[in-house]
Structures are given as C-alpha cells and as structure tokens.
Amino acid sequence: MILDLLLETILPRLCVVCEKKGVYPQWFCASCRKDILFVPHPQCERCGYPLSEQLCSVCLTHPKKNTFDFHRSLFLYEGVASDLIARYKFGKKRELALCFGNLFCEYHPYIEGNFILPIPLFKSRLRKRGFNQSLEMARVISKIKKTPLLDGLIKLKSTQPQTELSRQERLHNLRNIFVWKGKSLVGEKIILIDDVLSTGATMAEAARTLKTAGAKQVMAYTVCLNVLTPSPQPLSLRERGG
C-alpha cells in the first residue's frame, strides 16, 4: 500500500483512454468511464451474453460437456473498449494488461481455479505481434489471485474471424486447432483467458481440448464481448421445459 502511494507520487497513473493524469486508484477518468460500456445485466447464466435471464438459446441447445462451463466479459466490444483492445494488441500498449487484469479481479472477485491458461496464438502470429495479449493478462491475474499459470495449450494453425459462418460451420472449421501438450488435467478446474469473445467457437474448442485432456471445469474470461446479430434470444422458463 505504502509502495503504491509512493509510486503514485512519482508516476501518477494516467487514464488508460485519454491519458489524463492522477486517476489512481481508478483506471479511467470520470469522463472516459462514462463512455466505456460494461456488459449489461441480466446475462445468460453460462456464457454471459446480455439479454437473457437464464440460458441463451445457444447454451440451451449445446450441453456444456464439450465446451466451457462459464464465461464473463468486462466490456461490450464497441467504442472506447474496442479502441483499447486495438491499442493493446496492435499498438503494442502492453501495459494495458495491468489494467485489464486488475479489472478482471475487481469485477469478478469469485474467479477461482487450479490453473490459469491464456488462449495461445499460432506461432507465426506470435512472432509478428511480439507478445500474446492473453498471456500478459493471465500473468497479472495469476499474480493477484495467487493461482499458477499453466503452459501446454498449443494452437496448430492460424484462424481468421468467421462471424459470417453458421455456428456448426465455425465449430467444424476450428475442430482440432488446439492440442494439449502439458501435464495431466484430470479433475482440474481451469481458468481460460482471452481478449475478445465473438462467436465463442474458439473458446469452445479450447475448452473441449482441455476437457478431453481431463479438465473437470473450464471457466472463461475475456475483456470484451462482441455482441453479434442475430443475438441469441432469451427463452422463457416454459420453453425450457420447466
């Protein structure tokens, strides 16, 4: 705490959006805070998609056996938040990992698991970008939550955004893009970290790979949720059959 205050005097924290000085302990100044859109409630119990109180239609029709058990994002992927992601990934503003990692832990204090795992980049992409944006955030969360980072998830090929495809086509395209080369995951609860969740197909395939390797539970967290149209429709209790 004393060290924090000392650091703050020497290097005042800047708003991560407009770089206005002295916003500590916040990450945004009051004006930028108003412009950033947190994912609204209510959300699907499982995937965190807004608009649904219980389960969205996707979660309802896809049993969690072969995918992640839970997902939450901090922000909607638009405006200020999508600019921040672009600055982080393509502007090489690696220090934003500190902001995102801290916000994850502040807004989702119940994050809990045996290991933290970032979604990997394909090796040529990693060479080009110079860093894995998910790994940097995972490091911060690992430190705050005192939960070890785990290595071993490998991405076998490069993938392009595929939002125009159907869910079935996306899942088919991404089938086996990951392989698990790490230690046994039998019975483990894994926390998966990525920057943006759009169709959810990449996260689902990573989770499927971990579950095939024995993981008992996969909890996913992303900075931004890209709300796509047509959106999953909330279903009433009656339609869920109870």
Residues that bind Zn ion (CB under 5 A): 15, 17-18, 20, 29, 32, 44, 46-47, 49, 56, 59
According to DSSP, the residues that pair with 81 across neighbouring strands are none
Nearer to Zn ion, 130 or 230 (CB): 230
Instruction: Kindly tell me the sign of the dihedral angle through the C-alpha atoms of 80, 82, 87, 93.
Output: positive
Q: Measured between alpha carbons, how far is 90 from 76 in angstroms, rounded to an integer?
A: 19
Helix (H, G, I), strand (E, B), or coil: what is residue 79?
helix
3-state secondary structure 2-34: HHHHHHHHHCCCCCCCCCCCCCCCCCCCHHHHH
Nearer to Zn ion, 47 or 196 (CB): 47
Q: How far is the CB of 35 from Zn ion (least distance, A)?
A: 8
Question: In Å, what is the CA distance from 97 to each residue of 21, 227, 235?
Answer: 19, 22, 36
Nearer to Zn ion, 22 or 214 (CB): 22
Nearer to Zn ion, 59 or 74 (CB): 59
Q: How far is the CB of 49 from Zn ion (least distance, A)?
A: 5
Q: How far is the CB of 70 from Zn ion (least distance, A)?
A: 10
Nearer to Zn ion, 32 or 141 (CB): 32
Q: How far is the CB of 122 from Zn ion (least distance, A)?
A: 27
Q: How far is the CB of 218 from Zn ion (least distance, A)?
A: 15
Q: Measured between alpha carbons, how far is 210 from 186 in angstroms, rounded to an integer?
A: 9
Q: Measured between alpha carbons, how far is 44 from 42 in angstroms, rounded to an integer?
A: 7
Structure tokens at 158: 């490069």
Q: How far is the CB of 135 from Zn ion (least distance, A)?
A: 26
**What amino acid occupies position 124?**
S
Nearer to Zn ion, 24 or 122 (CB): 24
